Amino acid sequence: MGGSFVASLDMYRKVPLDLIEGTRRGSVLSTLAVFTMGLLFFLETKAFRRATLHTSLALDSNKDTKIRVNFNITMMDLKCDYATIDVVSVLGTQQNVSQHLTKAPIDQFGVRREYRSRNDEQRDVQLYDTTIELSIEELHEDGEHAISLDQTTLEVALEENTYVFVDFFANWCSHCRDLAPTWETLAEVMLEVAEDRVDEGLHYQNHIHSEEEFQAAVRVELPVLIGKVDCVHHGELCSGYEIRAYPTLKFFVDGEEKADFSGHRTVVELAHFIEEMEKRHKGATTTVKTSGAKHFAEERTIQNDAHEAYARALSATRRTIKQTWADEVHPGCNIYGFLLVDRAPGNFHIQAQSRHHDLAAHLTNVSHIVHHLSYGKRHFKLKDPSYAPPGFLRTTRPFDGNVYVTHQEHEAHHHYMKVVTTINLNQANGRAYQILQSSQLSLYKSDIVPEAKFTYDLSPIAVTYENKYRPWYDYLTSVMAIVGGIFTVVGMLESGIYSVSRKKNR
């Protein structure tokens, strides 16, 4: 019985050939069917040989504690002397970053100057002379020797004096108030130098023979005019000299700005600076009028062995005075490098700050150009464009080339970034970070210094891209479906045409 069942099982029964009749219609439909099968077979084979991009979402499994932030940003109107970068994390850490960064000054035409420097932390300087025990009021009891200047008197002072040293300050500035006794003492020292030269003239009287010669000998002007300008009362004057931080100590020679003092703010150091500036003007081998200033400064301020040791320490750390003034009225700063930040929400911001100045908030402009900003590997590249969706690289650096300019005081651009870990399984070291960014203009209170702020938040979900090929059995199934499906559809079409034609012939 089992044998008869097997013998009767035949899914491919044959019709006797003498019952089969060929038709022209059948030949046309058969040709169409074969052509369609061949075309679909070719397309299916081509698709089988090509990988397709698959996307999946999963929790980010990256166990690194730090993430690298690469950037190249130009601050369009902020000097490198004041430009600093701070990193703040929700983990409670805040630090001023100096490693892995380089700063290059930019002139008003956007051209990078030759000088480059590592982004060393701003060095500590002595903010005022601690050896001066008298208050500014006590020093003023015998008169005010540091001359208060305004627009008119400053012009006269620059015209009539070869050397003028001016303290541009603000009456609300704490550093300025601390410096005031030091600055007044420096003015008194310069007066003592002048009086000493007068004494030399009196001594010289014994060796000359006429009153006219004597008057020529004792006609001694102040070797350096020590002045001060209150920028609160004379704001236009200070703006004309681009004063943005207080106190700013400027040295003038023959009416021209030559240098800003940035060393230790002690009377000895200031006197040394003045002497060096005069030597630079007249020549190192020339006898200078201010050669005795350091002597008088030491007598006024060094009072015991501890102070002498302190003075020697200052001399040991004294750096060569460099010409820091530039004619460009709006210098910028190009800051580039990378940061290593916690894998937690946080921000990094570029702002103007100084350990030994109080900055004028209304004069701080943090307009900037973002040449590059990305996370992870600095030079991430795709080996094959098909490994990621179109425009993928642009999503990893959406800030590149953007310019953010502020036109009003007390405002700055803040940027917000959602950082999404993206993994490409077809590429070694294929981890990249896509950035969803938005920016807005933020307003500040009048006493707060603006900052260019970049806030980031890492997404807990990671995106995975992978190129996959179809399995062989899927390909075979599709091929069989093509053959069987077309044969069946064409057969149904032929049967329908045959039925219609028979009805018409009756």
Examine the pLDDT at 110 and tell me if it is beyond 70: no
Residue that has been written with the tokens 């040791």 in this structure:
309
3-state secondary structure 279-336: HHHHCCCCCCHHHHHHHHHHHHHCCCHHHHHHHHHHHHHCCCCCCCCCCCCCCEEEEE
The model's pTM is 0.56
* Segment holding 90, helix H or strand E: none
What is the distance between the alpha carbons of residues 460 and 449, in angstroms, rounded to a whole number? 34
Residues of the chain with CATH 3.40.30.10: 142-317
13 vs 1, 50, 307, 490, CA distance in Å? 21, 40, 118, 20
State the pLDDT confidence band at 145, using cuts at 50, 70 and 90.
Answer: confident
Average pLDDT taken over every residue of the chain? 78
Condensed to tens digits (0 to 9), the pLDDT of residues 69-101 reads: 999 999 988 888 888 888 988 876 667 667 788
Enumerate the CATH 2.60.470 domain ranges in the chain, comma separated.
58-108+331-468
Among residues 494, 506, 486, 412, the alpha carbon closest in space to that of 453 is found at 412
Q: What is the pLDDT of residues 409-452, one digit of tens each?
A: 888 999 999 999 988 877 767 788 999 999 998 888 878 889 99
Residue at token pair 């030491």:
298
Under a CB-based contact definition with an 8 Å cutoff, are residues 212 and 224 in contact? no
Interval 31-84: pLDDT, tens:
888 888 888 888 888 877 777 778 888 888 888 888 999 999 999 888 888 888
Which CATH fold would you assign to the domain 142-317? Glutaredoxin (3.40.30)
- CATH class assigned to 58-108+331-468: mainly beta
Read off the tokens for 326.
């530039």
